[in-house]
């Protein structure tokens, strides 16, 4: 499946097994397109996917910071991430 690269990635339609590679590829694609602020929608549920997404962001060398989105952007059902301007 080909996804348009935008500043929002909604994980609801993806298999949890795909998340690690999806996040890595998404960050690379955003950086190539000059997108350095992204919102990843993982849903609220019991928080397992949120923890997984934030764990991947924490380890990614091109992520400067991340945080739960404000209430109007999904609250703890989404994570905002700031990416480096240059790939490392």
The secondary structure of 34-52, three-state, reads CCCEEEEECCCCCCHHHHH
Q: Is the pLDDT of residue 18 over 80?
A: yes
Q: Is 40 helix (H, G, I), strand (E, B) or coil?
A: strand
The three-state secondary structure class of 59 is helix
Q: Could you read off the pLDDT of 20-48 as tens digits, one per residue?
A: 999 999 999 999 999 999 999 999 988 88
Q: What is the pLDDT of the chain when averaged over all its residues?
A: 92
pLDDT of residue 3: 66
Give me the pLDDT at residue 16, please: 85
Q: Give the per-residue pLDDT at 37.
A: 97
Q: In the structure, what pLDDT confidence band is assigned to residue 81 with cuts at 50, 70 and 90?
A: very high
- Positions of E strands within 28-68: 37-41, 63-68
Ordered by where they begin, the domains of the chain are 8-76 (3.30.1370.110)
- Cβ atoms within 10 Å, residue 39: 16
Give the integer Cα–Cα distance in Å for 68 and 75.
Answer: 6
pTM over 0.85: yes
């Amino acid at each position: 499946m080909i996804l348009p690269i935008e500043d929002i990635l909604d994980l609801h339609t993806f298999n949890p097994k795909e998340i690690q590679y999806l996040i890595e590829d998404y960050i690379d694609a955003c950086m190539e397109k000059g997108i350095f602020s992204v919102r990843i929608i993982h849903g609220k549920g019991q928080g397992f996917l949120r923890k997984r997404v934030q764990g991947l962001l924490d380890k990614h060398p091109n992520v400067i910071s991340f945080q739960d989105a404000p209430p109007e952007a999904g609250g703890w059902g989404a994570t905002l991430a700031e990416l480096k301007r240059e790939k490392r």
